[in-house]
Structure 1
Amino acid sequence: MDSMGERSRAVLRFIVEAYLREGGAVGSRTVARGGPLGLSPASIRNVMADLEEAGLLRAPHVSAGRVPTEAGLRFYIDTLMEAGELSPAERKALEAARGASAEEVVARAGAVLSDLSSAAALVVAPASGGAVEQIQFVALAPGRVLAVVVLEGGRVENRLLDAAADAPLAALEAASNYLSARLAGRTLEQARGAVEAEVAQGRADLDAVA
């Protein structure tokens, strides 16, 4: 994938950013209208087909659009994402938001795997609604994980999480698979309750053997 051409990179970048921003499948016409290369929808469909064959995109259900796979998100993060410095105002706002009561409900989460997890936490907002289809954890940097919660209809919730700095990728993959299997078909509110119950049970089990 290191040999991917500039056209494919630009299309993948546009699709990933639109997916994370809008929370739905991205079609070739959308890329043609907003993409940077001025390609026709037919040309973009060919590029998207190549990206899908490479395992970077997938088609959710019968949708004509595409969404990035975990490999696509990983490739975007590793090679395509452009990082920028926070402005003083943005930094101040983020620092002020830490521990703010309005964020506490959303930020309440917990380790899921019973062996202390050592990996990630699930953050879900009860008011969001929608049934969970898939959950993915993508390591961004030591101690930082992107949680991508895919809901029915292709809608997506994204959260940045704190995790153990030395959390192995295998643990994140295990947490993704475990939570996807356990929470599929539940609303975010139900998923949140299930996660909290798992955490409480895990703590109780640890206390019992301590």
Structure 2
Amino acid sequence: MKLDNRAQTLLKALVERYIADGQPVGSRALSKFSGLDLSPATIRNIMADLEEMGYVASPHTSAGRVPTPRGYRLFVDTLLTVRQIDENAVEAGMRLPAHQPQKVIANAAQMLSSLSQFAGVVQSPRRESTFQQIEFLRLSEKRILLVIVDPRGDVQNRLLLTEVDYSPAQLTQSANYLNQNFAGLSFDQVRTRLSGELRQLRDDMGCLMQAAVEAGSEAMQETDDMVIAGERNLLSVSDLSSNMSSLRQMFEMFEQKTGLMQLLDMSSKAGGVQIFIGGESSLVPMDEMSVVTAPYEVNGKIVGTLGVIGPTRMAYERVIPIVDITAKLLSNALSHS
């Protein structure tokens, strides 16, 4: 059911007042802050309709109403007026010496936290899924170190335990074969192409290459790191720290990171600013928590996601541009580092 203009205006006023002071909003306050010339009875009728449609709810202890996750969703998607913020002030905080991407990323997380007064998170750039070069180093009998170099020059090491004691010459021959024929491809592509060619290779060499492909594929799929700043800010947010169960859930999310990483990965695929509202998204562990995210790029390619973690009752009109501008500035800083 589509909301008419009066209902939208009242819902917008209710969400804004609830975000501002955290108290259920009654008809008298809505009459004052909505700017509509409506009788209290008319406002109560509209509120009853909004409650029936699931946009607001009535706490047992008050005659006023509060927004539901569905109400927040409609608010941020269609009713929100985003504030302008001083981009130059944000950019000044991003200026760091070139060739220090990790410092730039840590600084971006800290800026997101200080500007929002909540927690800031930045997912480090994903590793390239392709490899540029591999090497085999014989450590001892049947123990080989696999060295993987990606196109950015990042290095991953994996230990291979083999059933055969390969000679240095065999290891060099296998590495040369993979580098000459498959450099620049992903390990999944190598696996597909190798399957038809292994029959022509000696069994021992084929087994070594298969082991290298499987280990390389696992290395590239490992969870990326992330930087989180300002978690302690959330302890002063009563909506999030009102009970021990909520606190445990919140800090388990920060400690384990897996669910947060899934959320950031999903955000990068969608593009642009995304808002995940607790009670609506299974990726957000608490009903009282929301996450505002945006992907960032390096040289035009999306490589990670950043965001602000805070209460559902946050000032979205201020947090959204903070996240959006920080993503653009981080993209620029990393592309020119």
Please give the range of the TM-score, normalised by the shorter of the 2 chains. Answer: 0.5 to 0.7
Distance, in Å, in 1 between the alignment partners of 2:22 and 2:92 is: 27
* Contact 2:12 2:79 survives alignment (8 Å): yes
Seen in structure 2, the aligned counterparts of structure 1 residues 30 and 170 have a Cα distance that, compared at 3 Å, is closer
Instruction: From the superposition, tell whether residues 80 and 101 of structure 1 become closer, same or farther in structure 2 (CA, over 3 Å).
Output: closer
| 1:22-80 deviations in Å (ceiling 9; x for gaps) | 22211111011221212122211111000000100011232111111111111112222
Listed as ranges, the matches of 1:12-161 within 5 Å are 12-83=11-82, 86=84, 90-96=86-92, 98=108, 99-100=110-111, 103=114, 106-107=118-119, 124-129=233-238, 131-132=242-243
- Name which of 244, 250, 269 aligns with 1:166: 269
Deviation at 1:166, TM superposition (A): 2.8
Aligned-pair distance for 1:4? 1.5
- Change in Cα spacing, 1:106 to 1:73, as seen in structure 2 (3 Å) is closer
Amino acid of the structure 2 residue aligned with 1:79: T
Structure 1: which amino acid aligns with 2:236? A
Contact 2:69 2:277 in 1 (8 A): no
TM-score when normalising by structure 2: 0.35
Gaps of at least 5 residues in structure 2 are 94-107, 124-221, 247-262, 289-309, 311-337
1:107 and 1:101 mapped to 2: Cα distance? 7
What stretches of structure 1 of length at least 5 have no aligned partner?
A: 136-161, 182-187, 189-210
* Cα distance in 1, alignment partners of residues 236 and 277 from structure 2: 31
Deviates more, 1:28-37 or 1:165-174: 165-174
Tell me the TM-score normalized by structure 1.
0.53
Structure 1 residues 158-197: aligned runs within 5 Å: 163=264, 164-166=267-269, 173-176=281-284, 178-180=285-287
SS, match of residue 47 in structure 1: helix
Equivalenced residue count is 145
Partner residue of 2:179? none
Distance 1:35 1:91 in 2: 30
Q: CA deviation at 1:127?
A: 3.3
Q: Percent identity?
A: 31
1:109 Cα offset (Å) = 6.2
User: Aligned to 1:165, what secondary structure does the other structure show?
Assistant: helix
Matched to 2:269, the amino acid is D
Does the 8 Å contact 1:55/1:72 carry over to 2? yes
Aligned residues of 1:134 and 1:180 also touching (Cα < 8 A) = no
Secondary structure of the corresponding residue to residue 41 of structure 2: helix
Q: Once superposed, what is the RMSD of the aligned Cα atoms?
A: 4.3
Cα pair 1:16 1:68 within 8 Å, conserved? yes
